[in-house]
Every structure is written in structure tokens, then in C-alpha cells.
């Protein structure tokens, strides 16, 4: 198969209103000063490797998740500077997700995958965020046999009322869960 490359970078919000079909290549979408938003419920990103970067959020907890499907062996990397990462993956999901840091704060992470949810080989931590919700509807989360447990960094943050928030992990799978 021929390998293609799709790269889109915008200064404000990036709305996904159609399908991107790049099943044999890398698709990189970036919103330098805004969010990546699922603008159409039928829009789906098909890629071998998918890279999503946004200053704010990728998908929304109160609205639409970003719909994606990875080719066999593909990876999905998503990074925000404290915003949420919300994904609906219609395949296995080898992930590297980072929803913030100690300076910008941490956003929540929500992933629903139709297949297995695993980390990318060699990563010390696969998912970083505040509250992390993972669901595999037909597969496993992490794998004892194939590369080990999924390593998660769920961080608490101090709210405006001086109460700790976040630091919760919920993992639901049809098969095994290995964190």
C-alpha cells in the first residue's frame, strides 16, 4: 500500500465536518490556540497513525467525542495543554494521551474503543490526565502477554475552593483489565 501524509494546523478551533481517509499513513491535526471539535456526527478519521494536538480540548465531555479508526497496528497520540481528550475509537487503540502538566493543569480523559486499549511500546506512562475513563466494548485494557499493563498517571488538582479534584481511574472491558 502507498503511504500518505495528511497535516492540518490552524490557529483557532479545528472543526471535523467530514471524513479523512488515510489508512496507510500518518494524519496530524493541530489547533495551536483552540480545540479540535467533532463538528459532524458522521465525521471519522481513518489513519494508520493519528496525531492530535490542541491547546484546549480534543473532543468534548459534554458533546461529541472525536471519532477515529486505526489500521491494524496503528497508533493514536493526543496532547492538550490541560484540556480534555475525548475519543471514540472504532478499532484497537494503541495510545499515548497527555491531557496537561503540572503548570497548565490536567484535563479529563475519556476513551471508548471497540477493540483493545494498550499503550505504545516503550512509553513509561501511556495516559496522563485528571479523571480517566476507559471502556473497551469487545476487548481488553492493557495486556499482560503483549507489552504489560497500561500505565496511567491520574493527577489530583487543587480546586478554587481548596478541595482536591481528579485522580480517578475507571476502566471497563469485556475481557481483562491490566493497569
CA distances from 161 to 23, 41, 101, 158, 164 (A): 47, 36, 21, 8, 9
Q: Is 141 within 8 Å of 147 (Cβ atoms)?
A: no
Q: What is the pTM of this model?
A: 0.93
Question: What is the 3 state secondary structure string of the chain?
Answer: CCCCEEEEEECCCEEECCCEEEEEEEEEEEECCCCEEECCCCCCEEEEEEEEEECCCECCCCCCCEEEEEEEEEEEEEEECCCCEEEEECCCEEEEEEEEECCCEECCEEEEECCCEEECCCCCCCEEECCEEEEECCCCECECCCCECCCEEECEEECCCCCEEECCEEEEECCCECC
The pLDDT of residue 149 is 72
CA distances from 122 to 20, 118, 126, 145, 158 (A): 28, 12, 9, 15, 31
The pLDDT of residue 159 is 74
pLDDT level of residue 26 (50, 70, 90 thresholds): very high
Res 2 pLDDT > 70 = no
The pLDDT of residue 120 is 87
Tell me the per-residue pLDDT of 80-127, one tens digit each, with 9 for 90 and over: 999 999 999 999 999 999 999 988 889 999 999 999 999 988 787 899
> Quick one: average pLDDT of 65-91?
96
Tell me the per-residue pLDDT of 99-110, one tens digit each, with 9 for 90 and over: 999 888 899 999
Q: Is 38 within 8 Å of 67 (Cβ atoms)?
A: yes
Amino acid at each position: 500500500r502507498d503511504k500518505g501524509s495528511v497535516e492540518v494546523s490552524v490557529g483557532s478551533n479545528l472543526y471535523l465536518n467530514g471524513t479523512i481517509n488515510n489508512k496507510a499513513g500518518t494524519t496530524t491535526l493541530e489547533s495551536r490556540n483552540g480545540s479540535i471539535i467533532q463538528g459532524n456526527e458522521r465525521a471519522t478519521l481513518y489513519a494508520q497513525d493519528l496525531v492530535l494536538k490542541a491547546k484546549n480540548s480534543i473532543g468534548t465531555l459534554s458533546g461529541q467525542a472525536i471519532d477515529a479508526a486505526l489500521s491494524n497496528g496503528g497508533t493514536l497520540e493526543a496532547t492538550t495543554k490541560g484540556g480534555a481528550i475525548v475519543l471514540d475509537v472504532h478499532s484497537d487503540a494503541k495510545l499515548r494521551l497527555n491531557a496537561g502538566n503540572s503548570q497548565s493543569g490536567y484535563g479529563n480523559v475519556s476513551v471508548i474503543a471497540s477493540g483493545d486499549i494498550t499503550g505504545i511500546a516503550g512509553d513509561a506512562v501511556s495516559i496522563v490526565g485528571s479523571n480517566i475513563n476507559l471502556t473497551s466494548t469487545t476487548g481488553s485494557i492493557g495486556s499482560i502477554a503483549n507489552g504489560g499493563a497500561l500505565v496511567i498517571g491520574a493527577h489530583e488538582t487543587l480546586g478554587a475552593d481548596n478541595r482536591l479534584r481528579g485522580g480517578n481511574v475507571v476502566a471497563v472491558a469485556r475481557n481483562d483489565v491490566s493497569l
